[in-house]
């Protein structure tokens, strides 16, 4: 789950990182009031869960409250990379001398948190990483030891940070690392960490929280902005299904993450492409199966459905009943390949067979199922 800039920065502030003390506005009038209260120059910033807002015109400086209102008028409702702007952040404008990139994320290869830092922060950090890789420094952190002073000093020296900022840089680095760890984040990023006459300031912030850890952070879970999520993902969350939409034509309904991945790989092996990852979980009830099928069929790219269920705790007859229940609600024109193996597989198959559904195709092995699904999707395309 991603947090908005204003949410991320407030959290950074809680850990002692200096942030601009701005206000969120949902209307141009509120933006005017916020700018007037703050006084002086402000920056009006689109709050959308995507990067590159500056380049897209979603970050604008305003010298007066009237100007702030006008910018808010322009930015609210704007579409930035497919995200509609519903809120703007009004921050006191910072007097930026230079921009540092400072982030903490997971280094999956090393299985350790890693600090990423660059003197060339700001709006083009991806470009810097691609064209000037030596301008991006990476320092791994052993979680049992934590971030050490010498590591921070190495980073500060490497990016050529003037000495007078080192002490504050050390505090910010320690605080961001702590914030990252204690939030169960997968990313905590300040870009830019601005060098200003008054010291360092986190002008932009972004956090991603590990969804699987949200249960122990109810305060963070409450920050979720579902308006940015695809409706299918909202429904999947409500039904407690793991669903990730992809671009292919074969809708996969599978139980177990490992089997779901294998099923996706198998569709590729036979020349197809999965439309989604979907794990209906262990002990899936008929209700869950019905929700899963509804979600799969809501994707217009789906040309065939591949249902691959291993009945362990989940019983194949429950799954079969779930499929029939779903098909009473949703019309399915696409063919569906069904492979049911394991607990109560005979009952499951019998239920499907006796239903007389015209577009259901049975399969026995996983390879057989994947092949049939790819063929069926090809016929429909």
Binding site for Mn ion (CB under 5 A): 191, 204
- What is the enclosing helix (H) or strand (E) of 39? none
User: 93 vs 172, which CB is nearer to ligand GDP?
Assistant: 93
Least Å distance between CB 66 and ligand GDP? 18
150 part of the active site: no
Which residues, in sequence order, are CB contacts of 340 under 8 Å at separation 6+? 307, 309, 311, 316, 319, 320, 348, 349, 352
Selection from Mn ion, ligand GDP, none that 52 binds (CB < 5 to 8 A by kind) is: ligand GDP
Measured distance CA(308)–CA(207) in Å, rounded: 36
Which residues, in sequence order, are CB contacts of 37 under 8 Å at separation 6+? 23
User: 62 vs 293, which CB is nearer to ligand GDP?
Assistant: 62
Quick check: 40 and 93 in contact, CB under 8 A? Answer: yes
Least Å distance between CB 325 and ligand GDP? 45
Residues contributing to the site for ligand GDP (CB under 6 A): 43, 45, 51-54, 59, 91, 93-94, 96, 99, 122-123, 191-192, 203-204
The residue from 6, 101, 177, 243 that is catalytic is: 101
Buried b (16+ CB within 10 A) or exposed e, 41-78: bbbbbbbbbebebbebebbbebeebebbbbbbbbbbeb
Structure-block tokens of residue 2:
């991603």
Least Å distance between CB 126 and Mn ion? 11
The residue from 5, 67, 189, 345 that is catalytic is: 189
User: 204 vs 279, which CB is nearer to Mn ion?
Assistant: 204
Measured distance CA(326)–CA(289) in Å, rounded: 8
**CA angle, 251 then 252 then 256, to 5°:** 160
Selection from Mn ion, ligand GDP, none that 120 binds (CB < 5 to 8 A by kind) is: none
Which residues, in sequence order, are CB contacts of 337 under 8 Å at separation 6+? 304, 305, 306, 307, 360, 361, 362, 363, 369, 372, 373, 376
CA distances in angstroms from 51 to 61, 123, 135, 146, 166, listed in the order given: 18, 9, 21, 29, 28
User: 191 vs 267, which CB is nearer to Mn ion?
Assistant: 191
Selection from ligand GDP, Mn ion, none that 99 binds (CB < 5 to 8 A by kind) is: ligand GDP
User: 151 vs 191, which CB is nearer to Mn ion?
Assistant: 191
Least Å distance between CB 216 and ligand GDP? 29
101 part of the active site: yes
Selection from Mn ion, ligand GDP, none that 252 binds (CB < 5 to 8 A by kind) is: none
- Residue closest to ligand GDP, measured at CB: 54
User: 188 vs 290, which CB is nearer to ligand GDP?
Assistant: 188
Nearest Cα to Cα of residue 18 among 142, 175, 156, 129: 175
- Residue closest to Mn ion, measured at CB: 204
Selection from ligand GDP, Mn ion, none that 137 binds (CB < 5 to 8 A by kind) is: none
Residue 97's φ and ψ, nearest 5 degrees, are -95, -40
Dihedral of alpha carbons 342, 346, 351, 354, sign: positive
Least Å distance between CB 204 and Mn ion? 4
Selection from ligand GDP, Mn ion, none that 23 binds (CB < 5 to 8 A by kind) is: none
Least Å distance between CB 122 and ligand GDP? 4
Give catalytic residue positions.
101, 189
């Amino acid at each position: 789950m991603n947090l908005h800039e204003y949410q991320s920065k407030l959290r950074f502030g809680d850990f002692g990182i200096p942030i601009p003390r701005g206000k969120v506005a949902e209307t141009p009038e509120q933006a005017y009031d916020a700018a007037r209260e703050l006084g002086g120059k402000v920056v009006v910033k689109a709050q959308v869960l995507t990067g590159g807002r500056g380049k897209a015109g979603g970050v604008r400086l305003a010298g007066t409250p009237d100007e702030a209102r006008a910018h808010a008028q322009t930015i609210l409702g704007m579409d930035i990379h497919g995200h509609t702007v519903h809120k703007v952040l009004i921050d006191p404008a910072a007097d930026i001398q230079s921009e540092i990139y400072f982030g903490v994320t997971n280094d999956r290869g090393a299985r350790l948190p890693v600090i990423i830092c660059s003197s060339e922060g700001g709006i083009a950090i991806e470009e810097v990483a691609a064209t000037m890789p030596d301008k991006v420094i990476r320092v791994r952190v052993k979680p049992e030891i934590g971030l050490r002073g010498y590591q921070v000093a190495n980073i500060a020296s490497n990016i050529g940070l003037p000495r007078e900022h080192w002490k504050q840089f050390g505090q910010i680095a320690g605080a961001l690392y702590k914030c990252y760890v204690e939030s169960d984040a997968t990313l905590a990023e300040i870009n830019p960490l601005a060098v200003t006459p008054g010291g360092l300031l986190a002008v932009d912030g972004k956090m991603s929280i590990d969804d699987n850890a949200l249960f122990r952070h109810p305060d963070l879970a409450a920050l979720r902005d579902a308006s940015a999520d695809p409706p299918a993902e909202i429904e999947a969350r409500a039904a407690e299904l793991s669903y990730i939409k992809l671009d292919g034509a074969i809708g996969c309904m599978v139980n177990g993450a490992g089997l779901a991945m294998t099923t996706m790989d198998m569709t590729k092996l036979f020349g197809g492409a999965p439309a989604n990852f979907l794990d209906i979980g262990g002990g899936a009830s008929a209700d869950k199966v019905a929700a899963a099928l509804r979600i799969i069929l809501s994707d217009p790219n789906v040309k065939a459905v591949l249902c691959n269920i291993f009945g362990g705790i989940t019983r194949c007859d429950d799954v079969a009943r779930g499929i029939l229940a779903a098909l009473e609600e949703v019309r399915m024109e696409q063919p569906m390949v069904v492979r049911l193996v394991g607990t109560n597989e005979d009952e499951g198959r019998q239920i499907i067979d006796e239903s007389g559904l015209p577009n259901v195709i049975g399969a026995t092995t996983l390879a057989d199922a994947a092949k049939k699904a790819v063929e069926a999707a090809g016929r429909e395309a």
